Structure 1
Amino acid sequence: MALVCVFWATTVSAHFGMLIPDTDETTQQKRDVELTLSFSHPFELQGMELEKPAEFFVVIDDGKRMDLLSTLKETRVMDHTGWKTSYTPKRPGMYSFVFDPVPYKEDAENNYIRHITKVVVDGFGEGEEWNKPLGLETEIVPLTRPFGNYAGNVFQGIIMYKGKPAPFTRVEVEFYNKDGKRTAPNERMVTQEVLADSNGVFTFACPWQGWWGFAGLTTADEPYKGRELELGAVIWVEMK
């Protein structure tokens, strides 16, 4: 029985809140942003159900926060419930989109999962102060600009929990294998892992073109419905 438990422990895939726009920048020729929200194993393209989030909003670089929850429309992502919307920036600036989900019950791990997920879009080439915290319960504050990156670039960020750096936090990293063309030589290679340092800073080099998800994982101080609550600070970054 013990051997069976070890086997299952090594094959559980990483979960990711996903917030994927159709562009990481707006231009005069491309003014709208189409966003898709889901919950999945992004490399293996295995979806899970995503209830309508508890919150969905955008933070503009002047600090203004706009509620977008009512704009969401149900859709199908990887054969499961997801959500979509569109947004048109009114002026140049930086637009940080965030969704905070209803905690997901994960019986395989006997816990609940809450991934506070964000993505940053550069509005008309004027996105600045991209390393400014949004004040989320947990978040990744980027030290690398979270848009306009080449494949092969290093991405750095600080894991924050309740406004302070979270030292030695485990960070799971996964590629959104959207077209299914990438294969992993073994299960260990599906999800990459790095550890933040004593200042909560982590570093990862992204080898491929496409969207990369980073999830800094902590445990909430209080359980949720009698189970441990995994908190994920998730950010998505496109490498071009």
Structure 2
Amino acid sequence: MDKDGFMKLTFGALAACIAFPAMTQAHFLLEYTTDTIIDRPGDVPVKLIFWHPFSNGHVMEMETPEEFFMVHHGKRTDLLDTLEPTAFTGSANEAAAFLGNVPVKRSGDYVLVTVPQPYFEESEDTYIQQYTKAFLNRSELPTDWMNPVGLPAEILPLNKPYNVLAGSTFTGRVLSDGQPVAGAEIEVEFMAAEPDMERARATDPVVSPPPGGAVVVMSDDNGYFTFGIPRAGHWGFAALGVGPATEHKGKELSQDAVIWIRAWELE
């Protein structure tokens, strides 16, 4: 190998080492509400945060989403006008976030959906766009959680996502434009630190991330994956790069499907 080739290899390896710590932390868009089981009608505050909640790590800057809506009894309601700019503080930094409201009135499921603008991750020289779903329910009436929303990248839950039992399993199906994705890489995130809605900052983490980097499962030939839920709390699943678009502004784009579920201990 000549000198120029050796220098290119050396600098390439160095760049990979510098980028590696950022790549081992999972980016997750949160649609966070203090409660997922709603007792009475009213506006439920929801905070949109782009963050690393397992490690209470770096908070990414959010721009106004392209779409923010809910699905209830099969009807879509635009909630983009409810969003107000705010900030959120993690252990490492403060960054832009959004605070909105979900009008919960009738009984049934409320599927929250965010389509964010692509986020440029400088350390990876790529854009990330996470199509994100979370779920609320009022009066224990299941109506919408089992139905796809029709997103370009989507995880369809096969367990009721707002009352999964700790110690049981969660199964989802990865879809791209409605079609199952075989061999999808799904990162798993526990919300070890939860947002404090009043102080707009992270609470202290209750656990630390496990060794070995991000927790990952793979979808099977029909797009299904299953993960054992070890403890109560909020769990997120991100199927990476499963959306149909792969480029944005001349750079690589990862369209991810994200879903948040809530697990409970039996008491």
TM-score, normalised on structure 2? 0.83
* CA–CA separation in structure 2 for the residues paired with 1:130 and 1:193: 24
Superposition deviation, residue 73 in structure 1: 1.4
Q: How do residues 1-240 of structure 1 correspond to structure 2 at under 5 angstroms?
A: 1=10, 2-8=12-18, 10-11=20-21, 12=23, 13-28=25-40, 31-45=42-56, 46-61=58-73, 63-78=74-89, 79-178=94-193, 179-186=204-211, 188-189=212-213, 191-218=214-241, 220-240=244-264
Q: 2:5 is matched with which residue?
A: none
Contact 1:27–1:125 (Cα < 8 Å) also in 2: no
- State the distance in 2 between where 1:36 and 1:151 align: 25
Looking at CA atoms only, which structure, 1 or 2, has the larger radius of gyration?
A: 2
Contact 2:61 2:97 in 1 (8 A): yes
Q: Distance in 2 between matches of 1:207 and 1:31?
A: 32
Task: Note the residue ranges of structure 2 that are not aligned, 5 or more in a row.
Answer: 1-9, 194-203
Tell me if structure 1 keeps the 8 A contact 2:246–2:255. Answer: no
1:156 Cα shift?
Answer: 0.6
Q: CA deviation at 1:181?
A: 2.6
SS in 1 for 2:59: strand
Q: Could you tell me how far apart the structure 1 residues matched to 2:221 and 2:18 are?
A: 31
Q: Distance in 1 between matches of 2:165 and 2:18?
A: 36
User: Structure 1 residue 185: deviation in Å?
Assistant: 4.9
Aligned residues: 236
1: CA distance, partners of 2:162 / 2:99: 21
SS of equivalent to 1:7? helix
Letter of the 2:47 counterpart: T
Name the CA distance, whole Å, in 1 between partners of 2:117 and 2:30: 14
Query: Is the Cα contact below 8 Å between 1:20 and 1:236 reproduced in 2?
Result: no
Give 2:50's aligned amino acid: F
C-alpha distance in structure 2 between counterparts of 1:159 and 1:181, whole Å: 29
Q: Indicate the larger mover: 153-162 or 218-227.
A: 218-227
- Checking the alignment, whether the CA contact within 8 Å between 2:111 and 2:144 is kept in structure 1 is no
1:47 alignment partner, SS class? coil
> Quick one: which amino acid aligns to residue 54 of structure 2?
F
CA distance in 1, matches of 2:28, 2:152: 17
TM-score (norm 1): 0.92
After superposition, give the CA deviation of every residue in 1:121-155 in whole Å (9 maximum; x if it has no partner).
11221123422111111110001111112222211
| 1:197-219 CA distance string (max 9 Å, x none) | 00000111121221111001125
Q: Indicate the SS of the match to 1:213.
A: strand
The Cα of 1:33 is off from its aligned counterpart by 2.1
Deviation at 1:6, TM superposition (A): 4.5
Instruction: Select between 92-101 and 16-25 the one with higher mean Cα deviation.
Output: 16-25
Change (3 A) 1:152 1:75: farther
Q: Contact (CA 8 Å) 2:65, 2:115: kept in 1 or not?
A: yes
What letter is aligned with 2:205?
G
Unaligned segments of structure 1, at least 5 residues: none
Q: Give 2:6's aligned residue.
A: none
